[in-house]
Amino acid sequence: MQQLSGTSVLVTGGAGFIGSHLVDALVPENDVRVLDDFSTGRRERLPEDVTVYEGDVRDAGLVERAMEGVDLVFHTAALISVPESTKHPERSHDINARATLSILERARRVDARVVLSSSCALYGPPESTPIHESDAKSPTSPYGVDKLTADTYARLYNDLYGLETVALRYFNVYGPRQAENPYSGVVSTFLRQARADEPITVEGDGAQTRDFVHVSDVVQANLLAATTDAVGDAYNVGTGSSVSIEELARLVRTTADSGSEIVHVDARPGDVDRSRADIGRIRERLGYEPRVSLSDGLADLLR
């Protein structure tokens, strides 16, 4: 695919956190459809000229209708919470793995490119950082196993059937519209606590690290994946830098000019202790360059 304009595009999870930012970037020049069950996604985020297919990504009939005649699918619909996947492994499997397989299968029929929202959770605890795409994969949660399955199927569909697929392995994504609930990401939780002058709850000793990538850079990666010739592969999407959760707590508190105290609570079972992306592959092959630093991204969220 040479350029992204005048293309018929489906965004699954298009009313969600990442999907809705992607929809905003696509709408001006493309014919955009959204499949969303609005369980966590919000209808009021969607621009008017989007065609909505309301329902579950596990509904094969609905997926088939939504994909009729499309050239490109961004598959962002998912069960995103690692702890929730641990409570409901079958649900995670059905949503994160099985539904991805049916999207790939449908894409094969209509010859549509698939850009998959994959996750660095598929690596599990790394032997060393930064994490390269070819590093060992031993996921420690049902979520990680299911994302590894989906990501592997994406490559397989390229190998077996020549389907154009790209898997984007997101590190920790944050930014506007991220939900604020116990299952959402740590940045939105800390921001809410800091704004309310409530204690900022660091789980464990806070020495665990994450690579926080702004949602606008994730959109950038998706748009590049939509047109690249370097298909059939998986790419890390991060910044290449990491901070500890304790540092994040301090940074949020300072940026929010908050009086919150930082408290330590129980560590999360199975939590990954270090995470940082090697972004050499996506930089070289797709021309991706992260643009938003964590301090700028946080300042922007507080504005």
| Residues making contact with ligand UD1 (CB under 6 A) | 80-82, 119-121, 171-172, 183-186, 189, 201-203, 208, 210, 245, 268, 271, 275
Nearer to ligand UD1, 7 or 40 (CB): 40
Smallest distance from ligand UD1 to CB 191, Å: 11
Measured from the CB atom, is 157 or 170 closer to ligand UD1? 170
Task: State in angstroms the smallest separation of the CB of 89 from ligand UD1.
Answer: 15
Three-state SS string over 73-92 comes to: EEECCCCCCHHHHHHCHHHH
Q: How far is the CB of 238 from ligand UD1 (least distance, A)?
A: 9
15, 33 Cβ separation under 8 angstroms: no
Supply the angle between the helices 17-26 and 215-227 in degrees, to the nearest 10: 60
Nearer to ligand UD1, 264 or 283 (CB): 264
Residue 68: CB minimum distance to ligand UD1, A: 30
CB of 215 to ligand UD1, least distance (A): 11
Closer Cβ to ligand UD1, 199 or 232, answer by number: 199
Q: CB of residue 184 vs ligand UD1: minimum separation in angstroms?
A: 5
Which residue in 53, 143, 235, 288 is the catalytic one? 143
CB closer to ligand UD1, 38 vs 183: 183
User: Cβ distance 200 to 249 under 8 Å?
Assistant: yes
Please give the Cα distance from 217 to 284 (Å, whole number).
Answer: 16
| Separation between Cα atoms, residue 119 and residue 262, nearest integer Å | 29
**Residue 44, exposed/middle/buried by CB under 10 A (0-12, 13-18, 19+)?**
exposed
Active-site residue, 174 included: no
Tell whether omega for the bond before 125 is within 30 degrees of 0, i.e. cis: no
Query: Measured from the CB atom, is 161 or 183 closer to ligand UD1?
Result: 183
**What positions carry a catalytic annotation?**
143
